[in-house]
Amino acid sequence: MIKKLLLFTFVVAASFQLSAQDGTGLATFNPIINEMPATRSNPTPGRYTQKCVAQYQTRDGWSNAYNVNVNFMSGTALNNATNTFNYSTTSVYGVIFWDKGQASVIKITTYLPCGGTVDRSCINSVLGPLKGKDQDGDVWRINTNNGYPY
């Protein structure tokens, strides 16, 4: 009985995650997260935005480099912004908005000493690019120093 309940819970959670994506594989969000400003003069503990250079891994190497604003958020802040419980509260995510309602949500796999406070000192505490995986399993690297090449 417990196995069936766990399987049902997993299927429901997976279907919610998949329903949050459009045909291109980019996640779509409700308007709350789309209204998040690109920069903050009074940052909140769970969010920090910084201009970065981002690339994702392809079969042939790395994609073009994209100069983008990356919204770094704690899993708790991201859950609050999306009105879901889809994101780990102990993780840090990088959210890149491409177009209205389209974003890449990248779970940062590089260790960051943020705790619940995602800020400049936490994000820039790592030498070299941050690494992570998006909602489709694609590997990303995010250079927070705006340096190119990596």
Confidence of residue 2 (pLDDT cuts 50, 70, 90): low
CA distances from 88 to 59, 81, 84 (A): 28, 13, 11
pLDDT at 38 over 50: no
Most confident of 5-9, 72-76, 142-146: 72-76
pTM: 0.69
Residue range 97-122: average pLDDT? Answer: 90
Higher pLDDT, 71 or 9: 71
Retrieve residue 10's tokens.
């997993």
pLDDT of residue 5: 43
* 51-102 pLDDT tens trace: 999 999 999 999 999 999 999 999 999 999 999 999 999 999 999 999 888 9
pLDDT of residue 1: 53
In the chain, % of residues over pLDDT 70? 67
Residue 28 burial (C-beta neighbours within 10 Å; 0-12, 13-18, 19+): middle
Q: Among 30-34, 58-62, 75-79, 121-125, whose mean pLDDT is lowest?
A: 30-34
pLDDT of residue 44: 61
Residue 113 burial (C-beta neighbours within 10 Å; 0-12, 13-18, 19+): exposed
Which residue shows structure tokens 């994506």? Answer: 21
pLDDT at 9 over 80: no
CA distances from 71 to 11, 43, 60, 101 (A): 29, 11, 27, 15
pLDDT of residue 101: 82
